[in-house]
Amino acid sequence: MKQITSIHTSSSQPQKLAALRQAHQDWVSAPDVLTRLTRRLSTTLSLETQLGVLADELDQIIPFDSLQYRHRIANQDFVFSTGMGGPHRCEYRLNLEGEHYGTLTLNRRQRFSEEELQGIETIISVVICPLRNACQFLAIEQTALTDALTGVANKRALDAELSRSGQLADRHNQEYSLILCDLDHFKAVNDKHGHVVGDHLLQMAASAMEQSLRTSDSIYRFGGEEFAILLPLTGERDARDVADRLRHAIGGIRIDCGGEALSVTTSCGVATHLHGETSEQWLARADEALYQAKHHGRNCTQVFASIR
């Protein structure tokens, strides 16, 4: 007996595909603000870009004089601001599923009407999910660029910032300086007191250096007991002063180790960016200056003299 096998094809499939294409066309060309806002937000995971889109779309419906967004992500403050002032304001804490995703504040010269406030809340209900995704993505990015022990940026972050700073220095003919700091005889600390004490010392050293720097400066754990500090708009002389200030701050650390006060000194190498050099060359010169500091007895600062 011959068996007949039939292949069933849904007669409605072409219609479904046509409906899908039409729905996509409608979504792309829809003129209403909520569809357009959703469409624009779906194209990026950049929190800054998303907030720019929100400000642009919101201002077309409910004019404002300034918009500000604040959030703390992965132990770093994120601030987005556009526009200027205005005595009247409305403020919203952005929460979703029990989690906080920042605070949005609008200011303008005239009071917001109840109808306008309802409109703002409607728009927030649309943007909250994309903003959450952007916040989570930024947190992941920052975690990947942060040293888990000390909480400062890591070498991966330093590599990217050195390249960017070198380009800025060349483009605008500005001075950028780099300091490499190495805790002296740190291996002996680990050998004598253990890695728990050594880790605590690294954390205290990172904190002491952060407190000694300007907000525009940045600190990185370069590796082991070595830290890098990037100083924008800073020449050799001022960079040396900063390095000495960092050495003094670290030298003031005291850790009680069973009746014995543990302290540590630091050696520093300084190099100011030279026009046209690569980040690798810049880093190598700072490392050479650090080597000279170690060679000259440690607990001192050496500068790789720039020839301009």
> Are 236 and 299 within one domain?
yes
Who contacts 187 (Cβ-Cβ below 8 Å, separation ≥6)?
Answer: none
Domain range for residue 45? 24-144
Number of domains comprising the chain: 2
> Are 247 and 134 within one domain?
no
> Are 97 and 189 within one domain?
no
CATH number at residue 113: 3.30.450.40
225 catalytic residue (yes or no) = yes
Position 179 scores a pLDDT of 98
Position 113 scores a pLDDT of 96
Does residue 17 fall inside a structural domain? no
> Are 49 and 112 within one domain?
yes
> Are 216 and 168 within one domain?
yes
Position 230 scores a pLDDT of 97
Position 16 scores a pLDDT of 85
> Are 32 and 113 within one domain?
yes
List the catalytic residue out of 114, 225, 236, 280.
Answer: 225
CA distance 79 to 44: 18
CA distance 171 to 135: 32
> Are 299 and 178 within one domain?
yes
Position 10 scores a pLDDT of 55
pLDDT in tens for each of the 308 residues of the chain?
A: 455 444 455 568 888 888 888 888 877 777 888 989 999 999 999 999 999 999 999 999 999 999 999 999 987 889 999 999 889 999 999 999 999 999 999 999 999 999 999 999 999 999 999 999 999 999 999 889 999 999 999 999 999 999 999 999 999 999 999 999 999 999 999 998 899 999 999 999 999 999 999 989 999 998 899 999 999 999 999 999 999 999 999 999 999 887 788 999 999 999 999 999 999 999 999 999 999 999 999 999 999 976 55
> Are 295 and 167 within one domain?
yes
Mapped onto helix, strand or coil, the DSSP state of residue 247 is helix
Select from 118, 144, 170 the last residue of a domain.
Answer: 144
> Are 140 and 178 within one domain?
no
Residue 74 C-beta-side C-alpha neighbours within 13 Å: 18
pTM: 0.74
Does residue 262 fall inside a structural domain? yes
> Are 290 and 159 within one domain?
yes
- What's the token pair of residue 49? 């870009």
Strands (E), the chain: 66-73, 76-83, 88-96, 99-108, 176-183, 218-223, 226-232, 255-257, 260-262, 266-272, 301-304
> Are 164 and 130 within one domain?
no
Position 204 scores a pLDDT of 95
> Are 135 and 160 within one domain?
no
